[in-house]
Amino acid sequence: MSHPNLLTSTREPLDVELKVKEGEIPKDLSGFVFINSGAGTVNSGGLPYERKLPNGEFNQEFGSPVINGDGYMYRFDFTEEGKIKLKTRILKTPCYYADIASSPILNPNNPYADIAFKNRGLARMSMKLGTRNQLNTAITPFRTPGDPQARLLATFDAGRPFEFDPESIDLITPIGENKFWRAGTPPFLNNPFPMVLTSAHPVYDPETQEVFSVNFTKTTRNLLSATEIFHLLFSSEEELEARLEERISRWEKIEDKEQVVKEVNDFFYHEAAEKEKKSFWDKVKAFYWKLIGRHFSNENAVYLVKWKGEKTPISYKIVNEDGSNIDIEHNMHQLGFSKDYVLLADTNFKFTLDVMLNNPFPNNERIDSFLRELLDGAQNDYSTLYIVHRKDLQPNVKEVKAHKVVLPLETVHFSANYDNPNGILTLHAAHNCSACPAEWVRYYDECKINGSPIDPQKVGMLAVGEMDIGKIGKIVIDVKNRDNLEDQTRFLHLEGKPGEKDPGPHTWGVGLYTYKDMLSPDRNVGEIKHIFWQAYGLNDQLLTDFMYRLYKDPNRNRTYSAEQMIEFTKKGAPFVLETVETDSMKATDHYSFPKNTYMWSLQFVPSKSPNSDIPESLNGYILCTVIGEEQNVHQSKSYFSEIWIFDASDLSKGPVAKLDHEELQFAFTIHSVWVNEANQVDTPAYKINIKQDYDEQIKHIRRRWLRRKVQSLMKDHVYPHFR
Q: Are strands 72-77 and 32-37 parallel, antiparallel or unpaired?
A: antiparallel
* Amino acid (1-letter code) at residue 419: D
pLDDT score at 290: 47
Distance CA 518, CA 476 (A): 19
Residue closest to 379 by CA, chosen among 334, 335, 345, 410 = 410
Residues in the chain: 723
pLDDT score at 2: 80
Mean pLDDT of 547-561: 94
Asked if residue 447 lies in contact with residue 543, where contact means CB atoms within 8 angstroms, the answer is yes
Within 10 angstroms of residue 21's Cβ, the number of other Cβ atoms is: 15
| Cβ contacts of 243 within 8 Å, gap of 6 or more | 267, 271, 272, 275
Mean pLDDT of 588-614: 95
Q: Helices marked H in 80-191 — which ranges? A: 94-102
In sequence order, what are the beta bridge partners of 646? 622
Mean pLDDT of 285-306: 64
Distance CA 564, CA 572 (A): 13
Helices 237-251 and 257-266 meet at what angle, rounded to 10?
Answer: 150
Q: Helices marked H in 190-256 — which ranges? A: 220-224, 237-251
Residues of each annotated binding site: 201
Residue 55 Cα to chain centre, angstroms? 32
Distance CA 628, CA 319 (A): 47
Least confidently predicted of 69-83, 288-302, 669-683: 288-302
Residue closest to 153 by CA, chosen among 129, 167, 174 = 174
Distance CA 623, CA 162 (A): 25
**What is the percent of the chain with per-residue pLDDT over 70, rounded to a whole number?**
88
34 in helix, strand or coil?
Answer: strand
- 438 or 692: which carries more pLDDT confidence? 692
- Rounded to a whole number of angstroms, the distance between the first and last alpha carbons of the chain is 39
Asked if residue 714 lies in contact with residue 192, where contact means CB atoms within 8 angstroms, the answer is yes
Mean pLDDT of 331-342: 96
pLDDT score at 258: 72
DSSP codes, 64-91: --TTSS-BEEEEEE--STT--EEEEEE-
Domains belonging to the chain, first-starting first, are: 14-218+298-721 (2.130.10.10)
Count CA atoms closer than 13 A to 172's CA, side-chain side: 21
pLDDT score at 227: 37
Distance CA 21, CA 710 (A): 50
Distance CA 302, CA 280 (A): 36
* Structure confidence by residue, pLDDT tens digits, 222-253: 444 433 444 444 445 666 677 777 788 888 88
Asked if residue 196 lies in contact with residue 179, where contact means CB atoms within 8 angstroms, the answer is no
Mean pLDDT of 253-276: 65
Least confidently predicted of 390-404, 572-586, 634-648: 634-648
Specify the DSSP element, H or E, that contains 443: none
pLDDT score at 285: 45
pLDDT band of residue 357 (cuts 50, 70, 90) is: low
For CA atoms 681, 682, 687, 690, give the dihedral sign.
positive
Mean pLDDT of 282-302: 55
Asked if residue 651 lies in contact with residue 121, where contact means CB atoms within 8 angstroms, the answer is no
Mean pLDDT of 392-401: 95
Asked if residue 602 lies in contact with residue 593, where contact means CB atoms within 8 angstroms, the answer is no
* Structure confidence by residue, pLDDT tens digits, 174-190: 999 999 999 887 666 67
Q: Taking all residues of the chain, what is their mean pLDDT, rounded to a whole number? A: 89
Asked if residue 33 lies in contact with residue 673, where contact means CB atoms within 8 angstroms, the answer is yes
Within 10 angstroms of residue 680's Cβ, the number of other Cβ atoms is: 10
Residues of each annotated binding site for Fe cation: 201
Within 10 angstroms of residue 556's Cβ, the number of other Cβ atoms is: 18
| Cβ contacts of 484 within 8 Å, gap of 6 or more | 405, 475, 476, 477, 478
Distance CA 647, CA 618 (A): 9
Residue 257 phi/psi, 5-degree rounding, is -65, -35
pLDDT score at 57: 87
Distance CA 391, CA 401 (A): 12
Look at residue 501 and tell me whether its pLDDT is greater than 80. yes
Distance CA 34, CA 36 (A): 7
Mean pLDDT of 488-496: 97
Q: What is the DSSP letter of 482?
A: T
Distance CA 106, CA 504 (A): 49
Mean pLDDT of 168-174: 98
Largest CA distance in the chain: 78
Mean pLDDT of 367-379: 76
* Structure confidence by residue, pLDDT tens digits, 13-58: 999 999 999 999 999 999 999 999 999 999 999 999 999 988 888 8
* Structure confidence by residue, pLDDT tens digits, 430-469: 999 998 888 899 889 999 999 999 999 999 998 668 999 9
Mean pLDDT of 540-558: 93
pLDDT score at 20: 98
In sequence order, what are the beta bridge partners of 205? 210
Distance CA 206, CA 521 (A): 6
Look at residue 503 and tell me whether its pLDDT is greater than 50. yes
* Structure confidence by residue, pLDDT tens digits, 96-131: 999 999 999 999 899 999 999 999 888 898 889 999
Specify the DSSP element, H or E, that contains 647: strand 639-647
Look at residue 281 and tell me whether its pLDDT is greater than 50. no
- Label residue 496 left, alpha or beta by phi (over 0 means left) and psi (-120 to 50 means alpha): left
Look at residue 374 and tell me whether its pLDDT is greater than 60. yes
Distance CA 414, CA 420 (A): 16
